[in-house]
Structure 1
Amino acid sequence: MTVQFSVPGEGRADQIGIGMVCPFDMALDRELWRWMPDAVSLHFTRTGYLDRPVDVDMCRQLNDHEQIASAVRSLCAIRPVAFGYACASGSFVDGIGGAVALRDCMLAAGARRAVTTSEALLRALDLMSIGRIAVATPYTTDLTGLLCAFLAESGRTVVAQSGLGRDHDIWTIPYSVTRELIRAADHPDADAIFVSCTNLWTYEILAAMEAELGKPVLSANQVTAWATLVDAGVLAEGAPGQSLFARAA
């Protein structure tokens, strides 16, 4: 599956830099890279290590504004044109206000533009006029509930949900399990399905799942990549089966 892009400034030799602030346990840098054209370089930085399971308390600790500001400042010398906070749970755990506060923290630390994964999701849903959604997550029940509350706060209706109850090593979940998770979340009333967690592999299966289920299937890394590319001025020309990128053209 190939994503095609046009990049502003035909013939330019310089790179377009995007900064990615990630949780300490992010293992899927490569997945975010796969949505990037050659002219874009991703610059990753991480928050400090936490020795605890992936639960509500841990996700709230990921929101330490001092650490996030420090992570942004660590990349400012190379002047990324946009920043992403690549963590779904860390940006929805405290509601829309929490996501906005994270973005404002990044801007105050020197980011020219900034977006969190959860804000990127809302922007994607706005673009696609999606009001009724199903969610598929690897999370514990409590975390999945907070995602549903975040979406409800934004004015969406969550019509179905499925979860794996995992609180560790999410990056080891195979595509076969994620496919079944998405199928379990699907509902006739859902306009789209959102697959949460930037540490869950999704790139290879999104197009096939959209074709199978007949509706958009969005993922955390997909919306993060898309929103940061939009903020950086890189225009997606579409990808077969990936309706978010196709509609962003």
Structure 2
Amino acid sequence: MDVSFLGGPQPQRGVGVVAPFDFALDRELWRWVPDDVSLHLTRTPFVPVEVSLDLARLVSEHETLREAVRALIAVSPEAVTYACTSGSFVGGLAGERAMAEAMTQAGDVPACTTSGALLSALRELGAKRVAVITPYTKSVTDALEDYLREAGIQVCGRSYLGLTREIWRVGYRDVVDMAREAVHEAPDALFISCTNLPTYDVIPQLEAELRMPVVSANQVTMWAALRQLGKDAVGPYQALLDPAARRGPASMAPLPPVVDGALPGTALPEPALAEAVEPPQGYQEGFPDPFGDALPDVFPDDER
């Protein structure tokens, strides 16, 4: 059969991604990427160390990052990014900048890191007070708070799981529970740390319930990397990526008045977060409904 009429494949632009050896969420990264952009991933060498500050330092040594970028350059990406939160905040602001510079020099292309992307995203949203949730131990969570404080960001609430391995197995329900625990002091935004923690589907759900922007490590990494190509990340009803989400029912607008003793749009009833959400009163016409039939149930029974 003659298929010459197809004329493809279409040209692709590329982003190189350096990830720690235990990164398990390649598929999640792709969900933020438009169809005409390809991701080229490589991993740092294995080291027999659990998730900790020591591991963060080992996987972010400059020579390790340079070698990874040199490998990626073989496929000519237009930008590279280091997809690791703890590895890019463990050295503070100066350490993060030095990592990005080492990667840029190694590949002669623009480079960014997850923690650098986080600060850019918070500036984009005008967020100066944040709550943070992490799967890390206390010491690693403390280091994240130190990094944000050095950047002039106040951490006004936090929650963490204390994990040292297999973070990718954490379910959405645990993420939601941490978020509810961390936001008691009305922050400007919530940050979900760790590129090995699944977050794509839960972001719009949390924004609707908490009525604040929610950003995650993988989201800001892809958002910043794609901006280096002049491209937009794909993420419906995520405030960082979708202007309508900032103005619509999941926006930061004031909550409606109390009706029959309940505040619409506040804590969602169990058992199913996605099924329980209703558009809040005062919904602005002209903006898409993020809770239509197309939105999947992101909390299946095995994660409750």
TM-score (norm 1): 0.92
Find 1:51's aligned residue among 48, 51, 74. 48
Distance 2:190 2:128 in 1: 11
Find 2:203's aligned residue among 177, 201, 206. 206
Point out the structure with the larger strand share: 1
Q: How much has 1:189 moved relative to structure 2?
A: 2.9
Aligned to 1:241: 237
Count how many residue pairs are aligned between Structure 1 and Structure 2: 238
Tell me if the contact between 1:56 and 1:143 (Cα under 8 Å) persists in the aligned partners: yes
Q: Equivalent residue of 2:240, what SS?
A: helix
Q: Equivalent residue of 2:177, what SS?
A: helix
Distance 1:28 1:231 in 2: 22
Aligned to 1:106: 103
Structure 1: gaps (5+ residues): 1-10
Aligned to 2:83: 86
Change (3 A) 1:248 1:61: farther
Alignment pair present for 1:29 and 2:30: no
Distance 1:143 1:69 in 2: 24
Distance 2:9 2:148 in 1: 40
Distance 2:14 2:135 in 1: 30
Residue identity matched to 1:245: L
Q: How much has 1:217 moved relative to structure 2?
A: 0.8
Aligned to 1:8: none
Point out the structure with the larger helix share: 1
The higher-RCO structure (CA 8 Å, 6+ apart) is 1
Alignment pair present for 1:42 and 2:39: yes
Alignment pair present for 1:139 and 2:145: no
Aligned to 1:171: 168
Tell me if the contact between 2:32 and 2:235 (Cα under 8 Å) persists in the aligned partners: no
When the two chains are superposed, the root-mean-square deviation of aligned CA atoms in Å is 1.7
Tell me if the contact between 1:20 and 1:86 (Cα under 8 Å) persists in the aligned partners: yes
1:52-91 deviation per Cα after TM superposition (whole angstroms, max 9, x unaligned): 1101111111111111101100011221011110000000
Residue identity matched to 1:202: T
Structure 2: gaps (5+ residues): 1-7, 246-304
Distance 1:100 1:12 in 2: 37
Q: How much has 1:247 moved relative to structure 2?
A: 4.3
Q: How much has 1:235 moved relative to structure 2?
A: 2.9
Distance 1:106 1:12 in 2: 30
Residue identity matched to 2:176: R
Tell me if the contact between 1:59 and 1:93 (Cα under 8 Å) persists in the aligned partners: yes
